[in-house]
Amino acid sequence: MLVTMTTAPLRKDAARNWHRIVEVGRRFVDEGTPIQLNDVARAASVGVATVYRHFPTPEALVETVAIPGFEALLGQAERALAGDDPYAGLRDFLYASVDALLADASLSPVFAAPVNVLPHTAELKRRLADLSGRILDRARAAGAVDPGVTQDHVVPLMCGVVYAASVHPAACAEDRAAAGRRFLTVMLEGLRVRAS
């Protein structure tokens, strides 16, 4: 999805430049390289003014890189709400969230930012918060999750799971993903209500 700071359609050359800049931004995020727009311009082989025209701040570029990940999580949330089993929907959505946060380094800083540069990012975050709250409410209403557990509890717990998996002394991303799933399984066991 082509998200720009303006709503006007881009000319072909401008669209090509936009895609090159976003590809470089994605690579920098994946490598853990700080986003400096002058460095992005050099790596994308475009002028600095071109980068600033599309992305006036590094945050705008990082948010653009993160948008596909947010849209994928929204799809997961919608599927979780449409399913028959409220607990399975919650569980599967939380697993998908941990997987996404560990696989896509652009998501955590955008999630953590108190203010977003792009209105589209703010809207995606608002929708995701709404859907994830409804997923949890549905699991609580079904008696599958401790009635005292709220979204205000789950969010920091999820941050803890992602942090623990990120600092895990793993040699590769697959190990971090496996660690994240193990830690999340422990967390889910603590949330679940079982029949006595």
Angle ∠(114,28,92) on CA atoms, nearest 5: 60
- CATH at residue 35: 1.10.10.60
Question: Residue 5 falls within a domain, yes or no?
Answer: no
109 and 48 co-located in one domain: no
pLDDT, tens digit, 9 for 90 and up, residues 11-60: 788 889 999 999 999 999 999 999 999 999 999 999 999 999 999 999 99
pLDDT, tens digit, 9 for 90 and up, residues 138-156: 999 999 999 999 999 999 9
95 and 33 co-located in one domain: no
Question: Residue 107 falls within a domain, yes or no?
Answer: yes
50 and 76 co-located in one domain: no
124 and 174 co-located in one domain: yes
Q: What is the C-alpha separation between 81 and 101, in angstroms, rounded?
A: 20
pTM of this prediction? 0.85
Question: Residue 62 falls within a domain, yes or no?
Answer: no
Reported as type and span, the H/E element at residue 152 is helix 151-167
- CATH at residue 134: 1.10.357.10
91 and 150 co-located in one domain: yes
CA distances from 64 to 50, 59, 115, 119, 165 (A): 16, 8, 14, 11, 25
Question: Residue 125 falls within a domain, yes or no?
Answer: yes
Q: Above 80 in pLDDT, residue 10?
A: no
Domains in the chain, number: 2
Question: Residue 182 falls within a domain, yes or no?
Answer: yes
Q: What is the C-alpha separation between 81 and 138, in angstroms, rounded?
A: 8
| Range(s) of the domain holding residue 20 | 12-56
192: which strand partners?
A: 145
Q: What is the C-alpha separation between 181 and 175, in angstroms, rounded?
A: 10
25 and 118 co-located in one domain: no
pLDDT, tens digit, 9 for 90 and up, residues 80-100: 999 999 999 999 999 999 999
- CA 78 to chain CA centroid, Å, is 15
CB-based burial of residue 148 (10 Å sphere; 0-12 exposed, 13-18 middle, 19+ buried)? exposed
Q: What is the C-alpha separation between 22 and 82, in angstroms, rounded?
A: 33
